[in-house]
Structure 1
Amino acid sequence: MAAAPKAKTDAGNADAAADAKKKKKKLLLIIGLAVALIAISIGGTIVALKFLAPAPPEGEVAEEEQAESTLAPALYYEMTPNFTINFNVNGRQRYLQAAITLLYRDPLLEELLKLHMPAIRNGLVMLLSAKNFEELQTNEGKEILRKEALEIIRSQLQKEQEALVTSGKSEEVSPSNVEQVLFTNFVMQ
């Protein structure tokens, strides 16, 4: 007689184990469905945003694609020697020493830079010496100086390039190819 209740207990344990497996399968199925629904929702949102986003103007797309496909490697031209400028601030002598490097991509531009470096350096010395010492101590002042230096370099190259092209001594190289003026050293004391 004792064997019969044990058989019922084993059958009950087997049923409980089967129920536990079914519950795990249901739970895993529900979790899988939830993950799938979340993935579909995110994918649908991304697709909807792409369709609803305004199309960029045709000119911008062409310029971006052309710039990405034809971007040449960066070239650097270090202007040596460094620029040293003195300031008189409240009766005290102050100094600025700046190392400037130009970033460009057209290899033909290097010869033009070398040829006109005295005129470019003169323009930069005049710009630096006209600045206020306190103004150059701020990041905004340095950024303004960097942009003004780029304008001076481009305008000087443009002026000299026009003279060479009209005389037939040179092929046209765009001065706007000088992309950035980089301060690789900027010491004020």
Structure 2
Amino acid sequence: MVDEEQPDAVSDAPVQRRSRMPLVIGVLAVLAALGTGGYLWQSRHAAHGTAGKTAAADLGKAELYLPLEPAFVVNFRDNDSLRYLQVGVTLMSHDPEAINVAKAADPVLRDGLVALFSNQNFSIISDAAGRQKLQQQALATVRKVVQARLGRPGIDALYFTSFVMQ
């Protein structure tokens, strides 16, 4: 009898694949976490936006700017030397009436701001914290004048568009 050689074992059995189920579960978990985080962030953000009726009303109105031209130039003393300060100021409001009142009261605003700027100390306003404090004081000065004429502060922000000391 002839030896019959058996061919190498060829298997028609399917190749076992690794299951993709853990990958799908992981992707779904990440998407769920992102969705939950987005929902919580949006709901918190929306809660802050509707905190007050005036804040929501201000967001709907356009920002109006009023540059106070020309720039303020004042001199002040610093340890027996004469210093100069040039400040460009722009007012911002969402209320057109407040901008009109500020335009009409320009000489009064300028007088108050010149008095404020000329009474500064060089060592204080030469750093960022001092400039921010000066900016807050200038805003308070402007709001006081507008409040007296309009009955409400009206001016939302005051920006220094230039700030040069020498």
TM-score normalised to structure 1 length:
0.70
CA distance, structure 1, for counterparts of residue 100 and residue 38 of structure 2 = 50
The code of the aligned residue for 1:36 comes to L
| Match of residue 156 from structure 2 | 179
1:95 aligns with 2:84: yes
| TM-score relative to the length of structure 2 | 0.79
Q: Give the superposed CA RMSD.
A: 3.2
Describe how 1:14-163 pairs up with structure 2 within 5 A.
Answer: 14-15=12-13, 18-19=14-15, 22-24=16-18, 26=19, 28-40=20-32, 42=33, 46=37, 61-63=50-52, 67=56, 71-159=60-148, 161=149
The structural deviation recorded for 1:73 is 0.7
Q: Secondary structure at the match of 1:176?
A: coil
Could you give the per-residue CA deviations for residues 81-125 of structure 1, whole angstroms, max 9, x where no partner exists?
111111222222211000000011122223211211111110111
Flag structure 2 segments of 5+ consecutive residues without an equivalent. Answer: none
CA distance in 1, matches of 2:77, 2:39: 62
Task: Flag as ranges the 4+ runs of structure 1 deviating above 3 A.
Answer: 1-4, 37-40, 43-50
Distance 1:106 1:136, change over 3 A: same
For 1:181 and 1:111, how far apart are their aligned partners in 2? 16
Q: Which has the larger radius of gyration?
A: 1
**Structure 2 equivalent of residue 166 of structure 1:** none
Aligned-partner Cα distance in 2 for 1:4–1:177: 98
CA distance in 2 between counterparts of 1:85 and 1:69 reads 34
Gaps (5+ residues) in structure 1?
A: 162-172
Count of aligned positions: 160
AA partner of residue 82 (structure 1):
A
1:62/1:182 CA distance change after superposition, 3 Å: closer
Which amino acid is the alignment partner of residue 83 of structure 1?
F
Deviation at 1:133, TM superposition (A): 1.3
Identity in percent: 28
Closer, same or farther in 2 for the Cα pair 1:29/1:95, shift >3 Å?
same
- CA deviation map 1:24-55 (0-9, x unaligned): 4x2x2232233334444x269649979xx9xx
Higher helix share: 1
